[in-house]
Chain A
Amino acid sequence: MLLQVTGLQTNLQIGEHSIQVVRDLDLHLRAGETLCLVGESGSGKSITALSIMRLLPAIASHPAGRIGLQRNTGERDTGEADDLLTLDETALGKIRGRRMAMIFQEPMSSLNPVFTIGEQIVEALQFCHPDMSWDAARDIAIETLREVQIDDAQDRFDDYPHRLSGGQRQRVMIAMALVCEPDILIADEPTTALDVTVQAEILALIRRLQLERSMAVLFITHDLGVVAQIADRVAVMRDGRIVETGAREDVLFHPAHDYTRQLLAALPENLPADIASPEAGEVLAGVSDLQVHFPRRGGLFRTVRSYVRAVDGVSLQIRRGEIVALVGESGSGKSTLGRALVRLIKPTAGEIHFDGTNVTGFSRRDFHSYRRRMQFVFQDPLSSLNPRLNIQTALCEPMAVHEIGESAEDRVERAARLLEDVQLPREFLWRYPHEFSGGQRQRVGIARALATQPEFIVCDEVTSALDVSVQAELLQLLMNLRLRFNLSLLFITHNISVVEYISDKTAVMHRGKLVEFGDTDSVCGSPAEEYTRQLISAVPRIRAA
């Protein structure tokens, strides 16, 4: 047994309170296997990984437990193990990086921007082989870069991190982790920040490297689809405890624990599709040949050097009562299109129509009455609510501006009813945004959008920051609200499973252009375009083997 964690407990000291974040956790890892630690946010999975690496700050303590790391591997194995919890920093320094390496979620901030990627890999290498010369280290580093499938490894060696894409940076991170040939790789949500197509490549890469090197991988994720792709065994965490462990097939297809069943049932593809779609009406909102270009400035006088074509000639129509999903990878311009539709961003060219009127050139005053009819729900539920205003103010202010409700009392009553519409208690009116959980905040965000009695709402990645179970509730809520208020939605997302669940029509964007637009069933089932096909096949799904 390479790694054997028994009865691990981790406490965090926050102010005067000691919070148990990992309780009585047992797990083991054999050489050459991948263990997926899966759970929702706050379940303690990242803390578990950091506990094993002993990377937690001083506020953390381990009152109980043992983390046994096998002392020698392979033939020299004597069955002896070191307890990482009892080792001092010097001893741990010899283990971190050499025996156990870690990669993190954010490839953007994990690399030091002032050193070339080559220098950073060589530094890692010389850390475990202090005598190695620069030239020898360089050769090995380039070899490792090739191994993680960085093209032109020789040239890339001298590049700074900002010249690499997110996926390439994550590859470099993997190269740095692997260069000392560790026995254990701990990967903490390594693909969460990446696009699905890149995620698929990185997952395949980790899988291949693990097989070649017969390395053990502890893979932390919240995404059950990813689990299905990469895991040998799965451990499901909740509230700091492991509620279920087992082989991948057993856990995913014959879950023993209720919580695992709930998690699987909350996946969009497993949600009951019993909410009927209304008949689509006439065209409500749309853009024709819309272009949004952002100038790139440079030089002494900040003159415009070139343009980023975020949206480049898109035409799209949304009918009354319809949910149109807008899918694309990061940087495809889908959010820009959504914002341009409600005139948060000024379009460079093209037209925006609403209810048969061309509103593109409208002044602020002329557009005011349209503001009421089209609303926006933002991705990050925390930053989309003013931290200094309570919910009542956030809901009543737009109503007052648009002269909805006869009096202040009436508006407060309407606000309370809105909260009930999004299934929150009316007492929440008097609370402040920081007193809510992420899912509750997003409900408030939806209530605020509904406050002006709109006909059309743009939902920009509204469920991306949320756990699957919360996402499932929110999707069902949106479907119900759509029917009740006869809303039309433009649902911007990168999650194909959500698209399949919620939308009537799907538009696929790629590099500022609309690639494909049609009924969701046909776009997702039998995509006509090559790009759509790639996108859909890259989505990790749970399928019976």
Chain B
Amino acid sequence: MSEPEAGRSGSASQAERASVLQLVFRRRGALIGAGWIGVLVLISVFAPFIANSRPLVMSVEGQLSSPLLQNLSAVDVTLLLAGFLTLVVCVIRLSASVRIAVVGIASLLCFLLCSQLLNPSRLTVHEQYRDASRAGQIEWLVSAPIPWSPKDYLRDFGDTGLQPPLIQSSRVHLMGTEENGADLLSRMVHASRLALGIGIVATGIALGLGVLLGGLMGYFSGWIDMLGMRVVEIFEAVPTLFLLLTFVAFFDRSLYMMMVIIGLTSWPGYARYVRAEFLRLRQLDYVQAAIVAGLPLQSILFRHILPNAAAPVLVAASFGVASAILAEATLSFLGLGLVDDPSWGQMLNQAVQSSTFNWWMALFPGFAIFMTVFSYNLIGESLRDALDPLVAENTAATPGARTASGKA
């Protein structure tokens, strides 16, 4: 792309993109979905500040300190920076690829730096601040809105275990406590990171693989297509959940392994979509025109075909995020998720563990999973609806076609 047109074409394509977004958000469903996801993103970025046993600021013998800030992990800091950069980048006018690159590179650097520099204490005695406070060692403190960490098992209270919300008079647990006595709301807040992360990363892996392989199969067809489709069929035949179960049984329970497995088993769907679009678009005159003009292959593939093939893939991806979240929740529900880290599915698991039905363990995480999956589905559906008529609208934009509704 040459320089002088960048400004003007940028604004034009922004107008075009804005109209797609407007169309998406004209639908109430998409608004609800995006609203819920937005709230989740905020919660997961600020999770340590929302729910933490460590005081935000405290004064010990006249000395001010912040145990919360001192114990932030590399992930916490990176998420904060990424969130902040995203806001900044949205305000500054930049092209989409530059925006993504800025946020991505900065976050990666930040993560690498922080994991070297920061050393949050590995073993935390959560009740130390409460004990100190009771003993009068702390003059005053400002605590987080939810003064419980997700892994704070309240050992200083003798009555820990499954308890419904708000039955203790001495302390507030808005959503009750789980089997080890940790505050459920705090765990819910921290689990939102896992839910968002697994959905986005797993779908990202699947999308990347699917677009690359599907695009190659569709454009080159012939032998590459033949072989590629067989690979697609092989991967489609792998049952995700059983593969996850097998890996969990043999190897360590790791979040990243789950993301990779879900990603590696769900790319064939995207590959099929992209392949079909490439097969169709390859025959279209404007791609033929690009070939006749002697344009290089990468321009034909990434400039003339891919942007026009993106719509159905994006729709499929938003449904894919939802199903990745469900896969993790299922695994955790079966008791094969992460060991200690909070996850909505694992909380659900506890709803029926002791012979009584612990309704608060079913209601809150269940609602969260439902809302998140539902939100992604709503967004996906609105995207699909918004992208379809836009194509029709563009074709009908000629004066002739408008009056005659395509006929004549």
Contacts and interface: CB of A to CB of B under 8 A. Distances in A.
Interface of A: 12, 14, 19, 21, 39-47, 50, 105, 188-189, 222, 239-240, 339, 342, 344, 368, 371-372, 374-376, 378-380, 382-390, 392-393, 396-398, 400-402, 408-409, 411-412, 429-432, 434-438, 445, 448, 451-452, 467
B292 A342 contact: yes
A230 B353 CA distance: 84
A412 B408 contact: no
A210 to B, nearest CB: 23
Contacts of A12: 403, 405
Contact of A383 (B2, B16, B285, B290): B285
Contact of A397 (B16, B284, B288, B299): B299
B340 interface: no
5 contacts: A42-B401, A344-B288, A376-B289, A380-B285, A402-B294
B405 A438 contact: no
Contacts of B13: 388, 390
Given A44-B408, A434-B394, A409 B4 contact: yes
Contacts of B293: 371, 375, 397-398, 401, 448, 451-452
A-B pairs with lowest CB-CB distance, top 10: A408-B2, A42-B400, A371-B294, A384-B285, A398-B293, A434-B394, A378-B285, A46-B407, A46-B408, A376-B292
B27 to A, nearest CB: 15
A430 B8 CA distance: 7
B284 A383 contact: yes
Contact of A387 (B290, B308, B399): B308
A319 B290 CA distance: 26
B307 interface: yes
B137 interface: no
Contacts of B4: 408-409, 412
A378 B289 CA distance: 8
Contact of A412 (B2, B16, B296): B2
B28 interface: no
Given A380-B285, A409-B4, A390 B295 contact: no
A43 B400 CA distance: 8
Nearest to B408: A46
A46 B5 CA distance: 42
B397 interface: yes
B130 interface: no
Contacts of B123: none
Interface in B269-324: 284-286, 288-296, 299, 303-304, 307-308
B345 to A, nearest CB: 40
Given A438-B398, A438-B400, A344 B294 contact: no
A42 to B, nearest CB: 3
A222 B400 CA distance: 14
B408 A43 contact: yes
Given A46-B408, A384-B285, A412-B4, A434 B395 contact: yes
Contacts of A432: 12, 16
B395 A382 contact: yes
Nearest to A412: B4
B93 interface: no
Contacts of A400: 2
A19 B292 contact: no
B289 A448 contact: yes
B292 A344 contact: yes
Given A384-B289, A402-B294, A46 B404 contact: yes
A376 B308 CA distance: 22
Contacts of B399: 42, 437
Among the interface residues A189, A339, A376, A436, which one has the most CB atoms of the partner chain B within 10 A? Answer: A376
Contacts of A383: 284-286
Contacts of A222: 408
Interface string B24-54: 0000000000000000000000000000000
B355 interface: no
Given A41-B408, A386-B286, A412-B5, A14 B402 contact: yes
Nearest to B391: A387
Nearest to B393: A434
Given A384-B289, A400-B2, 5 more contacts: A50-B407, A344-B292, A398-B293, A408-B3, A437-B400
B294 A398 contact: yes
B286 A436 contact: no
Contacts of A408: 2-4
Contacts of B2: 396, 400, 408-409, 411-412
Nearest to A409: B4
B121 interface: no
B21 to A, nearest CB: 16
Nearest to A451: B293
Q: Is the interface of B mostly helix, strand, loop or mixed?
A: helix
A392 B400 contact: no
A376 B288 CA distance: 9
Interface string B191-213: 00000000000000000000000
Contacts of A430: 5, 8-9, 12
A392 B288 contact: no
B292 to A, nearest CB: 5
Given A368-B294, A386-B304, A42 B408 contact: yes
B295 A398 contact: yes
B403 A42 contact: yes
Among B397, B399, B407, max chain A CB count under 10 A is at B407
Contacts of A412: 2, 4-5
Nearest to B283: A383
Contacts of B404: 21, 41-44, 46-47
A384 B286 contact: yes
B405 A47 contact: yes
Nearest to A39: B408
Contact of B296 (A401, A411, A451, A467): A401
B1 interface: yes
Contacts of B398: 434, 436-438
Given A408-B4, A412-B5, A434-B395, A401 B403 contact: no
B407 to A, nearest CB: 4
Contact of B9 (A46, A392, A398): A392
A342 B1 CA distance: 26
B304 to A, nearest CB: 5
Contacts of B394: 387, 434
B8 A375 contact: no
Given A371-B293, A388-B308, A430-B8, A44 B403 contact: yes
B5 to A, nearest CB: 5
A392 B405 CA distance: 29
B141 to A, nearest CB: 56
Nearest to B303: A389
B292 A47 contact: no
B303 A41 contact: no
A371 B299 contact: no
Contacts of B9: 390, 392-393, 430
A431 B13 CA distance: 10
Contacts of A448: 289, 293
A46 to B, nearest CB: 4
A189 B293 CA distance: 36
Contacts of A189: 408
Contacts of A385: 286, 289
A452 B401 CA distance: 32
Contacts of A344: 288, 291-292
Contact of A388 (B5, B307, B403): B307
A339 B283 CA distance: 12
Contacts of B16: 432
Contacts of B407: 46-47, 50, 105, 188
A152 B362 CA distance: 72
Among B1, B5, B303, B397, residue most surrounded by chain A Cβ atoms (within 10 Å): B5
A376 B267 CA distance: 38
Contacts of B405: 12, 21, 47
A4 B8 CA distance: 54
Nearest to B11: A430
